[in-house]
Amino acid sequence: MPLFTGEALVLRTYRLGDADRLVVMLTRERGKKRGVARGAVRSRRRFGGALEPFTHVKVAYQEREQRDLVRLDYADTLRSPMAAGGDGCAYASYFADLLDEWAPENDPQERLYRLGVAVLEAMAVGVDPVRLARYFEYWLLRLQGVYPSIQACPRCATPLAAGAVLEPRSHWFLCRHCAAREQGVLMPPAALRFLAEAGQVAPGALGGVDVPGDALEQLASAHRLLLVWHLDREPRSARVLREINS
């Protein structure tokens, strides 16, 4: 069996029998992999805390032809979301869930991987997780090519700098004139300015972006609608976050 080594983000783990764990991870060079960590339940010495969701790890695994599961030999922690403290673990699970939903099996996704690592690094230096969540959602949808334009109304070409409404049927940002008879999520100018800056800065710089809390709340509502539309469901971890923040 060929041995592969490299970096990965742990996305999910499941108990497999009495002693083992099934691990879903996004590797940097070979995409999403599912593997078995033998003995990970009974003994923590071999893997320690490296199998927690959204942990950045160095891994070694063996892969056989025509086998869906790889065999995980070791995972060493490079960066852990535990360092963020507070609600960091809940947000880490949310980010990991979204990556798992979007990343295809066995298909390298370098940009998704880099997004996850950059957000984890920003968590470690204390960037507000609410800002990081809106940034992460924006970039995740943008990388998939499904984030609506924030520049101009698709119906009349009016610039959206004065605010917009996310129309729930077309999932476009419309100007307020075109959305006058529509029911949707109001996007204030501050929310659109945040998105514009999010498109230009690394997540570690989000602490310097001026954005009021109510604009982030409106963004959360808009992104929830977009994510449910494209995923056909809401991740369970998203519901957990809403309960924490309510």
pLDDT given for residue 87 in this prediction: 78
Number of structural domains found in the chain: 1
Q: Residue 7, exposed/middle/buried by CB under 10 A (0-12, 13-18, 19+)?
A: middle
Whole-model pTM over 0.85: yes
Q: Decide if 141 is inside a domain.
A: yes
pLDDT given for residue 39 in this prediction: 84
Counting as low any pLDDT under 70, the low residues of the chain are: 1, 43-45, 66, 246
* Structural domain for 141, as ranges: 127-246
Q: Decide if 131 is inside a domain.
A: yes
DSSP 103-127: SPBT---HHHHHHHHHHHHHHHTT-
SS3 88: helix
pLDDT tens sequence across 147-167: 999 999 999 999 999 999 999
Q: Decide if 93 is inside a domain.
A: no
Q: Decide if 239 is inside a domain.
A: yes
Q: Decide if 19 is inside a domain.
A: no
Q: Decide if 25 is inside a domain.
A: no
Q: Decide if 66 is inside a domain.
A: no
Which stretches of 38-126 are assigned E, i.e. beta strand?
56-62, 69-79
pLDDT tens sequence across 23-58: 999 999 999 999 999 888 876 667 878 899 999 999
Q: Decide if 168 is inside a domain.
A: yes
